[in-house]
Chains A and B, each alone.
Chain A
């Protein structure tokens, strides 16, 4: 009896130690076939997304009034960005609080499109306020005003941040 039990246990031990082949009951072809169909639908939905993006831009942000504000961190900046506030012509248009993932994405060199809206051609007042913490742990608070000139085409504005200040890059 004990030998039988030992045999069973050892058998299981060998089974556990080896690489377990899961989902053997589901044929590989079935898994692969379904995976390919999932890839196809992803492709279809990406196509719809592209058309929808175009439609949205044309409908909601036509080029003659479109303004897009981007936020980036200067390469190598490690300060903790907590939030960015943007006012356009004295009206608050966006207030964004950063998650850890978003901050990491900015630190790696990603650029966030923080605001897309519509303004008339001509000069506009843009006020950017930033809250954060320096690497030393001190509170950071910066506010800067810029003059933005909107022409006929879409207006693209990049706000570049460092622990020391805010720079506006007119694109």
Chain B
């Protein structure tokens, strides 16, 4: 049974996860959106919000958001971030995000879904008037996937605002919704009762109490319905009907103890004390920390007393007294442990996230309070909200502590980079400047050659393509002629003819090979261009690396200083809030334990009287028996 109670606690605990009804798109285009979903599907809301916030900010900061991969999912991402914030219980921010969607240029179904989410935020924040105002703004087409949930929420909001007739009308239409089986009928029953339609309301509670299902939560609401109806009937002294309804509650459910106790009272009111002993005796053997069990421990001897078995009643009262004494001692120890801070220390242990039974297992830790006494409290909304806040704050505290360490590491990295790069860079820069001027010179040469070749396409200049050897020979011939004509002498005819022939050969070669040489020159230029491209790439890579080297250690000081200040401020604030939230949790736990202790003390007093009375009666009965004998 405790498993189910714990499950119910965790159902409430995980209600925020259930709220985040985000699913992955069929075709995921943006991997970072997928990463945010991966975090969200694991309940890591902080990381999911942080990732998606960054993505959305980057998306909206782009000149052309349409070219961004998030563009395909931007509406879903906007919703998702609101959902994640809601799941992380940042209702104010979630509300603002959803309001932005509502006020944006969106289609009717999208707008209506956003309003639905906003209304749900208000409802869960216990602001029914705002929730009603929001839900009344829904007009036109509602997406089919939220139709039933919206109707159910609308009914809940009407109930919270005291408009039970409107709630009942909606809930009547929801009776066919399989997913809400039990919940819609139970709420309808309650709404009708509050509306004053007692007969009809009870009929629906009765119907809920007879639902056939295998689902644990439907069975739990069935039990609850039977318990509520049975208790009402019992208060109105409709004993038989109450007994019949109460006996429908399962023996192993979260409401079993209360039902057994009430069922016993139904018999007792009818004077059937023997029959009352059946549920009460069963109940009295269960865990002594449960309030109903403690009451059964008194009810059983009470029934024996009524059956005139005073000696047994006296003994059982004595036993109850002892057990209550032990329980009071346990409660005292628990209160002490809460005051000494062990309760909070136990709550923030990692096991809580891993093990659904952890809340119950807490009691096994040394110096932690008796958690069975706190199970009901732990399932209450205020405690759950406060506990989740406390756990979230603990999460933030750990993050901030880690970040503080990260900033130290970043500073160390930056310093190491500075020490490494700073002495190297002047020499590198000098060498770079030298190579850069050389490169510019060569590039200018290349450009000149290219221009010349281009001109030669229009005006051929074979002489430009003479080889070095040909140029040398041409020079030598000119020198020879100069030498021969020096002093005004004439060149002999034979030599003149030979010189002319040589010139002719040279000219012949230059002109006949011009086309081939021109083609070769183009090919060489093309090869050169490849090399130049490679050089330019290297140059760009160098410039980028050079820039990266400077950027790897410069310009971070202000950012790190600002972040360190922010982290420290946040750490201080988180510490203060944790202390306040922790004190609140401790007060709640202590109040609850005190109440239970107070109740047991009252029981003790009453049991003492009842025990004394039973002993008196037993002695008197024995004396009378003797006398009669």
Contact = CB atoms under 8 A, between A and B. Distances in A.
Interface of A: 1-2, 4-6, 8-10, 12-14, 16-17, 20, 22-23, 25-26, 30-31, 34-39, 41-56, 58-60, 62, 64-65, 70, 72, 75, 101-102, 104-106, 108-113, 121, 152, 156, 158, 171
Contacts of A8: 602, 606
Interface in B229-270: 231, 235, 258, 261-262, 265, 268
Contacts of B609: 1
B41 A108 contact: yes
Tell me if A's interface is mostly helix, strand, loop or mixed. Answer: helix
Contacts of A22: 376-377, 380, 382-383, 588, 592
Max chain B CB contacts within 10 Å: which of A44, A45, A52, A158? A45
B194 to A, nearest CB: 13
B481 interface: no
Given A13-B265, A35-B89, A65-B548, 14 more contacts: A2-B302, A6-B302, A12-B295, A13-B295, A20-B376, A22-B380, A23-B386, A37-B577, A48-B567, A53-B50, A59-B413, A106-B38, A109-B24, A110-B35
Contacts of B577: 34, 37-38, 41
B389 A48 contact: no
A41 to B, nearest CB: 5
Interface stretch (B140-148, B399-407, B620-628): B399-407
Nearest to B603: A8
A26 B588 contact: yes
A158 B551 CA distance: 29
B98 interface: no
B347 to A, nearest CB: 16
A23 to B, nearest CB: 4
A49 B46 contact: yes
B399 A108 contact: no
B618 to A, nearest CB: 14
Contacts of B536: none
Interface string B21-56: 001111010010011011111110010011001100
Nearest to A36: B92
What are the 10 closest A-B residue pairs judged by CB atoms, nearest first?
A: A109-B24, A111-B34, A110-B38, A105-B41, A22-B380, A17-B231, A23-B382, A49-B50, A110-B37, A23-B588
Tell me if B's interface is mostly helix, strand, loop or mixed. Answer: helix
A113 B30 CA distance: 12
Contact of B24 (A12, A44, A59, A108): A108
B570 interface: yes
Interface stretch (B427-435, B450-458, B556-564): B556-564
B320 to A, nearest CB: 12
Given A17-B258, A62-B548, A52 B563 contact: yes
B100 to A, nearest CB: 15
Contact of A26 (B49, B382, B599): B382
B37 A111 contact: yes
A72 B38 CA distance: 10
Interface in B517-550: 541, 544-545, 548
Contact of B383 (A4, A12, A23, A64): A23
Contacts of A47: 566
Given A26-B588, A52-B563, A110 B602 contact: no
Contacts of B573: 41, 44
Contacts of B284: none
Nearest to A109: B24
B462 to A, nearest CB: 45
B28 A59 contact: no
B414 A38 contact: no
Given A2-B305, A53-B54, A62-B548, A35 B570 contact: no
A64 B548 CA distance: 9
B559 A26 contact: no
B228 A17 contact: yes
A17 to B, nearest CB: 4
Interface in B590-623: 591-592, 599, 602, 606, 609-610, 613
Given A13-B261, A13-B262, A16-B292, A109 B570 contact: no
B39 to A, nearest CB: 8
B448 interface: no
Given A14-B235, A52-B403, A110-B34, A31 B46 contact: no
Interface string B353-386: 0000000000000000000000011001011011
B227 A17 contact: yes
B396 A30 contact: no
A20 B23 CA distance: 36
Interface string B480-517: 00000000000000000000000000000000000000
B556 A46 contact: no
A95 B273 CA distance: 68
21 contacts: A5-B606, A9-B265, A17-B228, A23-B588, A31-B386, A34-B584, A38-B393, A38-B577, A42-B392, A42-B396, A48-B570, A51-B563, A54-B54, A56-B406, A59-B556, A75-B26, A101-B43, A109-B28, A109-B37, A110-B34, A110-B40
